[in-house]
């Protein structure tokens, strides 16, 4: 594999595509990542991801720890100005120096001045992404100092001259083989460097000397306690301990958001950070230091003995402005654990050189880049599909998709303003119209218009959808990739079909529900709606079909927030009428359901209405499983697996948002209770993610993400007959169909087909 040249993409170095204010850089970075970095990234992120699931499951009070951590961060950011004053006093009382830098340049100049005062020639650094943000190395090196990155990942990046691709494992895009090739080339060595041990030994020996001779050590800090000035430093290699304990001068550089009120408040973060980051109980070393320490620094013979000196350099660099922003304030709660990166299907496939900017990457990365730089730097956050898999993984409960939807909204609006002038602060109002969005955004965000008209003229629209000319035109105008098969529009919508059929009322119903005619069911997979009604009827549930209105999901995912809010409000008022009439609401499409159970909290401006709907809205199988349980009934009394027209071996892929709101497990359990042999997918997302995979720009990425799912389906088949593919979401159905070329059923269709016949 080529090491320095990327002939296919023409990208000569990841640095060349770090700044993504030009969209072309994003596309080139995706290509580069898919061609070169993807195998290592997939392996490493998925290892972190699996380890995290295991580690948090082992924490008995995981949810309480998260609540506690969130509360501490909320309070700390709210009280930040007072905490900074208290911290300054605490650091000074210890004999340390405190400096608050308003921007990157101030911070770098201060550090430079301290280093120069000490005549520093060699500065050793622990991993600090914040010093990457302010480009500190560049400033120190320009002044003639040697800067030695001592974290092995940062060491690799320094040798390769690349930006980090991950918040806690900055060189995670490098496979062992590529590191070997890099070191061989750069160090011109004949040493054997063919194993992790050999590479580590080589780097250790190179760096041990640096620690012992360093004039200044620079670290970051994971948290800082305002009451005592204590730094919490988390690591595994021992390099941060070396950096903070050996040289006479220690400078800690951190963002102001790292400050919390007290040392006692650090308690919940130890386990949360380790579990959420690397999936460990604790990393090898977690230090709590209130520098400067009392014992003398390490001094080799021939060097002057110096007393210890400590400087705490805190950086604003846009953070106070983020704090004033009602949406992006949440970013400051981030403890940089990387759970949102590792749980993201797109990130797992391309990593942070594509899904990232000059410093920060992944789901939360866009908000950091926009907040500490320019809004345009967050353009890569387009790779957040809103699948929401990160939401439950965030140890401080940041709603990361919502941040990215807001970034998209503000980027949409800058598209027709001056392209360089947009900052977060200048664009905080959500009330403006979603003007300025590109045609593609408007197409995908208002899919229901097209669906409605498509269905009305189904014969024509299906012919158009299959016409090469029309597909070329759609690709050119709205970016709909011509390689994507489009789901055919049905001749009759769900509502039309139901209205044509006379169905007698249910006598003495056990429950009354309204089935929401979501756009994807009404104008798309009509048969799952029919099946749901049949199953409900069999169970003596009185079901009414609502009218079909968009709930705002499509608009939300395009960042068309004004439209999303309008749709969500309209749909919520409609459903609320049914709730008032004593009906529970059932929603087939998981992304629509997730709107009422999760996202609408941001859009309705009415918490009471949101909570009411949230409590009364269900996925249909989740709902019937509850009824079975409440009535102590066995689902096998109603459903007979022997009647299955597709056998009893299933491969079930639940929808990403369905998993997040906890509606996947009931379907799996019910299918098993009925007697099916079910293998479930373990991918975070199928890669289609609503409209994402339909877009020309992202089609290849979407299919690359889907590869894991397709492989799992094949593996599940094993030696036996192919399993029947079952999926709950519309876009997952399309993706599975495209990747496997097999029929895909909704679980409710399967259940409807195996209803036991009444005893003769």
Partner 1 sequence: MSSLADTFTTNAREAAAFVERVAPSPDELRDAVRRSTQDTSRIVLGPCEYLPAALRDSLHELPGVVAKPSDEQLSTADVGISSAFAGVASSGSVCIAMGPPLAAAASLLMPLHIVFLAADRIVARPRDLFDSTSLGGEALRRNLVFITGPSATADMGPLVRGVHGPHRLQIFLLG
Contact between 270 and partner 1 per CB under 8 A: yes
Compute the distance between CA of residue 563 and CA of residue 573 in angstroms, rounded to an integer. Answer: 15
Q: At what angle do helices 345-354 and 38-57 cross, to 10 degrees?
A: 130
Please give the residues from 427 up to 486 whose contact with partner 1 meets the rule CB under 8 A. none
Classify 741 in phi/psi space as left (phi over 0), alpha (psi -120 to 50) or beta.
left
264 binds partner 1 (CB under 8 A): yes
Candidate list 88, 132, 149, 151; residue touching partner 1; CB under 8 A: 151
Strand runs labelled E in 259-398: 259-260, 285-289, 309-315
Asked if 266 interacts with partner 1 (CB under 8 A), we say: yes
Closest CB 222 distance from partner 1, rounded Å = 13
Out of 295, 580, 608, 719, the residue judged to bind partner 1 by CB under 8 A: 295
Rounded Cα–Cα distance for residues 293 and 311 (Å): 12
Smallest distance, partner 1 to C-beta of residue 253, A: 20
Minimum CB distance to partner 1 smaller for 280 or for 423: 280
Measured from the CB atom, the residue of 190 and 294 that comes closer to partner 1 is: 294
Do 725 and 747 meet the contact criterion of CB atoms below 8 Å apart? Answer: no
Q: 217: exposed, middle or buried (C-beta count within 10 Å: 0-12, 13-18, 19+)? A: buried
HSE-CB for 287 with a 13 A CA cutoff: 20
The one segment of 115-123, 147-155, 582-590, 619-627 that binds partner 1 by CB under 8 A: 147-155
271 binding partner 1? (CB under 8 A): yes
User: Which tokens belong to 346?
Assistant: 């797109």
Indicate whether 245 belongs to the interface with partner 1 (CB under 8 A).
yes
CB atoms within 10 A of CB 443: 22
The distance of closest approach from Cβ of residue 236 to partner 1 in the complex, given in angstroms and rounded to an integer, is 5
Contact range with partner 1 by CB under 8 A, out of 287-295, 351-359, 482-490, 728-736: 287-295
Q: Output 166 or 616, the one with its CB closest to partner 1.
A: 166
Q: How far is the CB of 352 from partner 1 (least distance, A)?
A: 15
Least distance (Å) between residue 167 CB and partner 1: 14
Q: Does residue 263 interact with partner 1 by CB under 8 A?
A: yes
* CA distances from residue 693 to 42, 228, 349, 741, 745 in whole angstroms, order as listed: 19, 51, 14, 16, 20
Residue 261 engages partner 1 in binding (rule: CB under 8 A): no
Of the two residues 288 and 453, which places its CB atom closer to partner 1 in the complex? 288
The reply on whether position 62 binds partner 1 by CB under 8 A is: no
Site size toward partner 1 (CB under 8 A) is 59
Q: With binding defined as CB under 8 A, does residue 283 bind partner 1?
A: yes
Task: State both tokens at 281.
Answer: 């109980």
The alpha carbon of 703 is separated from its chain's Cα centroid by a whole number of angstroms, namely 18
- If binding is defined by CB under 8 A, does position 212 make contact with partner 1? yes
**Is there a contact between 99 and 313 (Cβ–Cβ < 8 Å)?**
yes
- Tell me: does residue 285 bind partner 1 (CB under 8 A): yes
Query: What strand order describes the sheet that includes 122-125?
Result: 97-101, 309-315, 249-255, 216-219, 122-125, 146-149
647: phi > 0 → left, psi -120 to 50 → alpha, else beta; which?
A: left
* Chosen residue from 26, 167, 203, 744 binding partner 1 by CB under 8 A: 203
Stretch that binds partner 1, among 75-83, 286-294, 361-369, 432-440 (CB under 8 A): 286-294
Cβ–Cβ < 8 Å for 227, 262:
yes
Residue span 25-54 as binding mask against partner 1, x where in contact by CB under 8 A, dash where not: -------------------x--x-------
**Footprint on residues 85-144 left by partner 1 (CB under 8 A):** none
Identify whether the C-beta of residue 562 lies closer than 8 Å to the C-beta of residue 433: yes
- Select from 248, 268, 357, 550 the one that contacts partner 1 (CB under 8 A): 268
In whole angstroms, the minimum distance from the beta carbon of 221 to partner 1 comes to 14
Q: Which is nearer to partner 1, 152 or 656 (CB)?
A: 152
Place of tokens 């359990």: 669
Q: How far apart are CA 270 and CA 266, in angstroms?
A: 7
**Given the complex with partner 1, which of 169 and 579 has the nearer CB atom?**
169
* Residue 218 φ then ψ, to 5°: -120, 125
CB of 265 to partner 1, least distance (A): 8
Q: Distance between CA atoms of 514 and 546, rounded to whole angstroms?
A: 6
CB nearer partner 1, residue 237 or residue 309: 237
Within 10 A of 85 (CB to CB), how many other CB atoms are there? 12
Question: Where does this chain bind partner 1 (CB under 8 A)?
Answer: 44, 47, 150-153, 156, 169, 171, 174-177, 179, 195-197, 199-200, 203-204, 207-208, 211-212, 228, 236-239, 241-242, 245, 263-264, 266-268, 270-271, 280-290, 293-296, 298-301
């Amino acid at each position: 594999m080529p090491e320095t040249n990327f002939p296919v993409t023409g990208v000569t170095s990841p640095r060349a595509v770090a700044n993504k204010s030009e969209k072309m850089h994003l596309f080139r970075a995706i290509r580069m990542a898919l061609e070169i970095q993807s195998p290592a990234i997939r392996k490493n992120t998925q290892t972190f991801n699996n380890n995290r699931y295991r580690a948090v499951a082992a924490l008995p009070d995981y949810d309480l720890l998260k609540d506690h951590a969130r509360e501490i961060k909320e309070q700390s950011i709210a009280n930040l100005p007072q905490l900074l004053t208290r911290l300054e006093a605490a650091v000074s009382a210890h004999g340390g120096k405190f400096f608050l830098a308003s921007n990157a340049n101030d911070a770098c100049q201060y550090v430079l001045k301290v280093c120069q005062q000490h005549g520093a020639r060699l500065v050793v650094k622990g991993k600090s992404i914040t010093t990457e943000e302010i480009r500190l190395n560049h400033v120190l090196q320009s002044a003639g100092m040697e800067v030695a990155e001592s974290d092995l990942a940062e060491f690799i990046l320094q040798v390769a001259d690349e930006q980090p691709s991950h918040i806690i494992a900055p060189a995670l895009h490098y496979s062992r083989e590529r590191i070997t090739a890099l070191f061989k080339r750069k160090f011109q060595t004949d040493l054997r460097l063919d194993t992790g041990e050999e590479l580590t030994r080589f780097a250790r020996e190179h760096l041990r000397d640096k620690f012992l001779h360093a004039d200044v050590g620079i670290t970051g800090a994971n948290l800082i306690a305002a009451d005592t000035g204590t730094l919490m430093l988390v690591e595994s290699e021992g390099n941060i301990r070396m950096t903070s304990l050996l040289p006479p001068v220690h400078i800690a550089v951190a963002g102001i958001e790292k400050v919390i009120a007290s040392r006692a408040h650090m308690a919940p973060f130890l386990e949360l950070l380790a579990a959420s980051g690397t999936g460990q109980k604790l990393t090898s070393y977690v230090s709590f230091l209130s520098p400067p320490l009392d014992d003398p620094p390490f001094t080799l013979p021939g060097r002057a003995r110096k007393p210890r000196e400590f400087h705490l350099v805190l950086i604003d660099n846009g953070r106070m402005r983020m704090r004033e922003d009602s949406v992006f304030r949440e970013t400051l709660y981030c403890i940089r654990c990387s759970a949102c990166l590792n749980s993201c299907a797109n990130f797992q496939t391309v990593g942070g050189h594509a899904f990232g900017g000059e410093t920060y990457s992944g789901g939360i990365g866009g908000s950091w880049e926009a907040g500490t730089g320019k809004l345009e730097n967050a353009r890569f956050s387009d790779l957040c599909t809103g699948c929401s898999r990160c939401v439950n993984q965030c140890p401080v409960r940041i709603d990361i998709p919502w941040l990215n939807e807001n970034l998209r909204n503000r980027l949409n609006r800058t598209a027709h303003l001056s392209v360089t002038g947009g900052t977060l602060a200048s664009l905080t109002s959500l009330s403006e119209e979603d003007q300025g969005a590109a045609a593609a955004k408007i197409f995908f965000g208002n899919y229901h218009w097209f669906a409605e008209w498509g269905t009305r003229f189904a014969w024509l629209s299906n012919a158009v959808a299959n016409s090469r000319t029309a597909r070329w035109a759609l690709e050119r105008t709205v970016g709909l990739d011509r390689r994507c098969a489009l789901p055919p529009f049905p001749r009759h919508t769900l509502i039309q079909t139901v209205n044509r059929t006379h169905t007698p009322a249910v006598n003495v119903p056990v429950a009354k529900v309204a089935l929401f005619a979501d756009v994807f069911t009404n104008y798309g997979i009509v048969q799952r709606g029919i099946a749901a009604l049949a199953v409900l009827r069999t169970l003596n549930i009185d079901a009414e079909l609502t009218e079909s209105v968009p709930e705002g999901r499509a608009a939300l995912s395009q960042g068309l927030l004004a439209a999303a809010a309008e749709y969500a409000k309209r749909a919520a008022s409609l459903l609320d009428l049914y709730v008032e009439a004593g009906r529970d609401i059932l929603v087939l499409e998981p992304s629509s359901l997730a709107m009422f159970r999760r996202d609408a909290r941001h859009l309705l401006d009415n918490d009471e209405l949101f909570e009411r709907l949230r409590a009364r809205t269900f996925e249909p199988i989740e709902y019937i499983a509850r009824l079975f349980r409440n009535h102590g009934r066995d689902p096998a009394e109603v459903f007979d697996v022997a009647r299955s027209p597709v056998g009893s071996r299933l491969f079930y892929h639940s929808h990403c948002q369905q998993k997040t709101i906890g509606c996947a497990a009931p379907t799996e359990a019910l299918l098993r209770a009925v007697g099916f042999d079910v293998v479930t997918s373990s991918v975070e997302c199928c890669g289609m993610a609503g409209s994402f995979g339909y877009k020309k720009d992202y089609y290849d990425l979407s299919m690359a993400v889907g590869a894991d799912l397709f492989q799992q389906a094949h593996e599940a088949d094993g030696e036996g007959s192919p399993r029947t593919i079952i999926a709950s979401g519309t876009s997952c159905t399309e993706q599975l169909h495209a990747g496997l070329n097999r029929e895909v059923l909704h679980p409710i269709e399967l259940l409807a087909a195996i209803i036991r016949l009444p005893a003769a």
